[in-house]
Copies of this chain bind each other. A is one copy, B any other.
Amino acid sequence: MTHSIRAIAAALQAEARGDLDLQVLRASEPATAGPDDLALAMTPAYGPALQSGAARAAIVWPDADWQALGLQAAIIAPRARLAMARLTQLLDPKAVATGISPQALVDPTAMVAADASIGAFCVIGAGAVIGAGTWIADQVSIAPGVVIGADCQINAGVRLQAGVRLGDRVILQPNVVIGGDGFSFVSAEPSNVEIARETLGAAALQAPADPTWHRIHSLGGVVIGDDVEIGAGSTVDAGTIRATRIGQGSKLDNLVQIGHNVIVGAHCLICAQAGVAGSSVIGDRVVVGGKAGIADNLKIGDDVVLGGGSVVLSHVPAGRVMMGYPATKMQTHIDSYKALRRLPRLLRDFATRQ
């Protein structure tokens, strides 16, 4: 399906120049673009590639001389990635509603909206609720009593365990697990972990008389807000007696772990392989870099940014940028790190003078 430059500019709420009726088929990088492609050349760095490719139309940076670049039409993008969001949405082939597969196993007491789709080999448990316009791919497991809002997109292999509630427009990538049991175990006598924390590791640890770990069951479920997206293979554990929560508009990347009882605020970004341990509370609009870890029972304020690979071991006030292991203010981390690089020389100098 082709789109005119005029239509794309309108969808992008952007200005267009040249032949507005020119039709394009798809988006492309400038160097490899063919004559029916819309090249994406949103910064001047793409200028040469644009000239070496065969695109007749492109999205270009604000003051680009598009005619000199050999284009017949151009769309001006003041904020490149925002234009990308609108453009890729326009070009994304929509998932087609397919109704309920005859190979799905839907409990007769489940309430499935008339226009919802359910793929092959899905299992929908007793009393589950599937909202209007929601699309469930193949081989998904929905436990009894789970509630899914409207216009959600649940990809293949997702597991929603008992006690899970999803808002509207939630997107779950393949093999996400929500509502698995929390990792919560207790020993009859104080454990080595408790002793290590209390003594800051000063005491040598001994075998306890009874090493058995008693399981604390997870009865609290999970509540996922509207417009949340969760990446492939990520896991969100059920709360103990109240729900684990992900706030509306928050986005989680792949292989992220959210522990039991955690509360994630609204409009957070949590990048790949990050983890939040049990009962920690993350504010609104917090950004957690890839592979970052947040220990248990901590409070992270609103608008905090954690650098990739950080390990947070204490509370963080609102508005801070943090880095390191253990995480500190970014500037403190940079100062320490620079000093550390100079330290071997300092030690040599110091030794020489003694």
Contact A308 B290 (CB under 8 A): no
Q: Is A255 an interface residue (CB 8 A)?
A: yes
Contacts of A36 in B (CB 8 A): none
Binding stretch for chain B, among A14-22, A24-32, A49-57, A63-71: A24-32
A211–B180 Cα gap in the complex (Å)? 30
Residues of B within 8 A of A326 (CB): 337
A233–B285 CB distance below 8 A: no
Report Cα–Cα, A343/B214, bound state, in Å. 43
Q: A110-118, A127-135, A299-307: which one contacts chain B? A: A299-307
B residues less than 8 Å from A161 (CB atoms): 155, 174
5 example contacts (A-B, Cβ-Cβ < 8 A) are as follows A84-B184, A193-B305, A202-B330, A235-B254, A275-B290
C-alpha gap A169/B232 in the complex (Å) = 24
Kindly state whether residue A225 has any CB partner on chain B within 8 Å: no
Please encode chain A, from 233 to 273, with 1 for each CB lying within 8 Å of some chain B CB and 0 for all others. Answer: 11101001110000001010111010100000011010111
Contacts of A147 in B (CB 8 A): none
A291 B303 Cβ-Cβ under 8 A: no
Q: Which of B93, B174, B253, B305 contacts A177 (CB 8 A)?
A: B174
The answer to whether A105 and B120 touch across the interface, beta carbons within 8 angstroms, is: yes
Q: Does A3 contact B (CB under 8 A)?
A: no
Question: In chain A, residues 317-354, which have Cβ atoms closer than 8 Å to a Cβ of chain B?
Answer: 319-326, 328-332, 334-344, 346-347, 350
Shortest Cβ gap from A135 to chain B (Å): 13
Is the Cβ of A174 less than 8 Å from the Cβ of B183?
Answer: no
Contact of A11 with B by CB under 8 A: no
Q: Determine if A218 is an interface residue (Cβ-Cβ < 8 Å).
A: yes
In the complex, residue of chain B having the shortest beta-carbon distance to the beta carbon of A250: B213
Interface residues of A in 274-309 (CB under 8 A from B): 275, 277, 284-285, 287, 290-291, 293, 295, 302-305, 308-309
Given contacts A40-B241, A319-B206, A336-B344, contact A269 B233 (CB under 8 A): no
| Contact yes or no, A27 B219, CB < 8 A | yes
A216 touches B85 (CB 8 A): yes
Question: How far apart sit A84 and B27, CA to CA, in the bound complex (Å)?
Answer: 48
Interface residues of A in 134-172 (CB under 8 A from B): 137-139, 141, 155-157, 159, 161-162, 171
Q: Is the CB of A92 within 8 A of B206?
A: no
A89: Cβ under 8 A from any B Cβ: yes
- Judge if A103 is at the interface, Cβ distance under 8 Å: yes
Give the nearest-CB partner of A174 in chain B. B159
- From B79, B177, B213, B320, A251 is in contact (CB under 8 Å) with B213
By a CB distance below 8 angstroms, the chain B residues around A344 are 335-336, 338-339
Say whether A10 faces chain B, with CB atoms less than 8 Å apart: no
Q: B192, B313, B325: which contacts A303 (Cβ < 8 A)? A: B192
1/0 contact string of A78-100 vs chain B (CB within 8 Å): 01011011101101110000000
Q: Which residue of B lies closest to A85 (CB)?
A: B214
B103 touches A105 (CB 8 A): yes
Q: Are A177 and B173 within 8 A (Cβ)?
A: yes
A82 near B141: Cβ-Cβ < 8 Å: no
Contact with B along A32-51 (1 / 0, CB 8 A): 10000000100000000000
